[in-house]
Amino acid sequence: MSTDDESFHPLGSEWEGELEEMLDDTEYDTDLGLEMAKDAMRVTKGELSEAEFHEKYHDDVMAEFGEDQRPTQEAYEQAKAVEDGTFSRMLDKFDGDGEDGRRDMMKKMGVGGAAFVGLSAWSASEDPDPEASVSTAQEDAEQRDIQWGMTLDLEQCDGCLSCVTACANENQLDSGVNWMYVLDYEDGGADTSRNRLIRPCQHCTDAPCEKVCPTTARHTRESDGLVLTDYDVCIGCRYCQVACPYGVNYFQWEEPEVPETAIADHMGVEPGEEGDHMMSQGRWVDSRAPRGVMSKCTMCPTRQDGNMGEGSIGTTACQDACPPGAIQFGNVHDDLSDASKYADNPSRGRALWNINPPSASELEEELDGVDDDLESVLEATDLDEDELAFMLAIDITAEEMGARPDNGEQSQIADREDDVSDALGALEDHGLDLDSPDVLVPLGLADEPDDDGEFDGPDEDDAQNLLENEVGSPESNFKLLEDIGTNPNITYLGNEPGPRAEQVDGPVAYEDVNYQGHHGEEVDIVDDRKEVLDEYTVGLTGRSL
């Protein structure tokens, strides 16, 4: 948390001041937006009930927006009941000349959510208050079968920006709108080591941005816990941007570079057909936003709904594009998902990304006519003792190799486990006894049989130590701003930013990276929307962190 007592916002008074200036340029009440954001964070901390929050601002929201559909404890059922009618009623208030007229009425200003924010805001602080009240959102989430989320291994991230470009390409984002952002930082003081942070939307279980939205445009899906924005309902008030503790929201200031009619065509389908990267569960919540609307990381809901084929469920564009496997996506309520498996044993997860076992067919061909003892097998194949020990350690530390989630989601970890199992199976079919002391003891995975000849079999501790010695174990396991009660669904592995963290240039500069645009052209990416807009925006490049 920020140590700046004059600011309610975790990102500090400078960030809050810039947001205030931006709200001043809209047609909406600046003070109302700031006060609602402040109290929304008090709700997540358990200092204010959702019913009190709703009552406190109900009259002001009605006066400012004409209705109050905020999904809080008292209003939640009402909001669900009228959700389908919200869009038409909002059009009655804001639309005199149809959709274009409604959007043209709004003040337009610089795109927020820029990358340069105070990293010290995300440093470790006091533990969450165990006496804090549990919100309705949190109670609902505990009953939900699916909660999409991520495990991000910061020590494995190499800063290549593949995730950023993949997200921009799939969602057809304008230059400077980075739903996924990667930054490098130094922590100051005696520790001048280089660290890295990956920053998507946290898809909080108890999201302050949702609490301040007057139209239910910003909403949490009951089916899978994704925090999304209905572009057809959003009125561009930007209150969600002020209330977000993580600074991940972007405002679409101008007409998008890719027209709406071309989004589906970019994916090679007709609008509304399977593969359309816009509509999910009847709402336009995916791909780039239209003019005058807020957007952010969506965790690819059209994929999760199977709109892009069953093979896309449980995948995201950023995860698919990450070479070192630093991004693990999945149902965090399922122990068998990639996100859960990796978080449960990061060293094992890293090992699976660092090994490329030979195929079973390759081994069968190489071992034809070869003796079945360890020395003969190693001489006849490309395997050495270290690689075989690595493969066996992966197998020994698994509760069930190749086990997959039961909701149809893909699992890259299970795929890699199957590759290891197939290779080990080929060795066993050849006659190599992988459970024997003749194999396990020389590989350092078991103790010698005792004086009575009793053999205890593989030692899981030895296997785990081998993995950790090879690929390391993360410094820490944390969630950003966990103490304020938003319950983010991103787990980080690695160094947590400290109070003196300061952003520095990464190994790959944003301006040096291109992605393939809609018409096949190379499109530059930048790390600050201000670089492509003349209007003022949140986060000045090069500012002090």
CA–CA distance, 541 with 117 (Å, rounded to integer):
10
pLDDT at 232: 95
Packing angle of the helix pair 412-430, 385-396 (nearest 10 deg): 120
Q: Could you tell me which residue, 57 or 308, shows the higher pLDDT? A: 57
> Which residues are 327's β-sheet partners?
152
pLDDT tops 70 at residue 265: no
Q: What is the mean predicted confidence (pLDDT) over 371-387?
A: 96
Q: How do residues 393-430 score in pLDDT, each as one tens digit?
A: 999 999 999 999 988 899 999 999 999 999 999 999 99
Q: Any alpha helices (H) in 250-345, and if so which ranges?
A: 260-266, 301-304, 317-321, 338-344
Report pLDDT for 136.
Answer: 57
Closest CA relative to residue 1, chosen from 399, 491, 413, 499: 499
Q: Are 195 and 50 in contact (CB under 8 A)?
A: no
Indicate the range of 128-137, 148-157, 280-289, 396-405 predicted with least confidence: 128-137
Per-residue pLDDT reduced to its tens digit, 436-477 = 999 999 999 999 999 888 999 999 999 999 999 999 999 899
Q: Which residue has the tokens 């990061």?
A: 346
Assign 266 a pLDDT band (cuts: 50, 70, 90).
low
Q: Which residues of 156-174 are buried (b: 16+ CB within 10 A; e: fewer)?
A: bbebbbbbbbbbbbbbbbb
Give the number of residues written for the chain: 545
Rounded Cα distance, 210 and 72, in Å: 9
- pLDDT value, residue 141: 62
Q: Which of 134-138, 282-286, 517-521 has the highest mean pLDDT?
A: 282-286
Q: How far is CA 452 from CA 129, 456, 457, 459, 478, in A?
A: 55, 12, 14, 19, 47
CA distance 211 to 239: 10
pLDDT beyond 80 at 110:
no
Res 152 pLDDT > 80: yes
Q: List the domain boundaries for the chain.
A: 13-332+489-531, 345-471
**pLDDT score recorded for residue 194:** 76
In the predicted model, what is the mean pLDDT of residues 1-10?
67
Q: What is the pLDDT averaged over residues 484-505?
A: 91
Cβ within 8 Å of residue 333, ≥6 positions away = 144, 145, 146, 147
The pLDDT of residue 132 is above 70: no
- Coil, strand, or helix at residue 506? coil
- Do the beta carbons of residue 480 and residue 490 sit within 8 Å? yes
pLDDT given at position 1: 38
pLDDT of 514 reads 86
Mean of the per-residue pLDDT values of the chain: 85
Mean pLDDT lowest among 127-131, 213-217, 222-226, 336-340: 127-131
| Structure letter (DSSP) for residue 122 | G
Residue 149 near residue 332, CB atoms below 8 Å: yes
Residue 498: what pLDDT?
84
Task: Evaluate the CA torsion angle 451, 455, 460, 464 in order and state its sign.
Answer: positive
pLDDT of residue 528: 82
Q: Which two tokens stand for residue 325?
A: 């496997």
Lowest mean pLDDT among 40-54, 100-114, 150-164, 389-403: 100-114
Q: Would you state the pLDDT for residue 249?
A: 95
Number of Cβ within 10 Å of residue 60's Cβ equals: 15
Look up tokens 């501790």; give the residue.
461
N-to-C CA span, the chain:
14
331 bridge partner residues: 148
Stronger pLDDT, 270 or 98, i.e. the higher one: 270
> What is the average pLDDT across 371-377?
97
What percentage of the chain reaches a pLDDT higher than 70? 80
pLDDT score recorded for residue 290 = 95
Question: Is pLDDT of 257 > 80?
Answer: yes
3-state DSSP assignment of residue 267: coil
Q: What pLDDT is recorded for position 464? A: 98
Find the range with the poorest average confidence among 6-20, 33-47, 515-529. Answer: 515-529
Is the pLDDT confidence value at 112 over 60? Answer: no
Flag whether pLDDT at 544 surpasses 50: no
Q: Does 93 or 156 have the greater pLDDT score?
A: 156
Give the Cα separation of 414 and 514 in Å (integer). Answer: 32
Find all residues with CB under 8 Å of 441, minimum gap 6, and list them: 447, 448
Q: Nearest to residue 11, comparing CAs of 113, 108, 135?
A: 113
- For residue 138, the model assigns a pLDDT of 57
Q: Give pLDDT, residue 475.
A: 86
Residue 499 has pLDDT above 90, yes or no: no
Q: In angstroms, rounded to a whole number, what is the distance separating the alpha carbons of residues 512 and 231?
A: 31
3-state secondary structure at position 219:
strand
Least confident of 184-193, 431-440, 472-481: 184-193
Q: For residue 199, give Cα distances in angstroms to 184, 216, 399, 479, 491.
A: 11, 25, 31, 11, 11
Which is it for strands 181-186 and 502-504: parallel, antiparallel or unpaired? antiparallel
pLDDT tens per residue, range 311-335: 999 999 999 999 999 999 999 999 9
3-state secondary structure of 285: coil
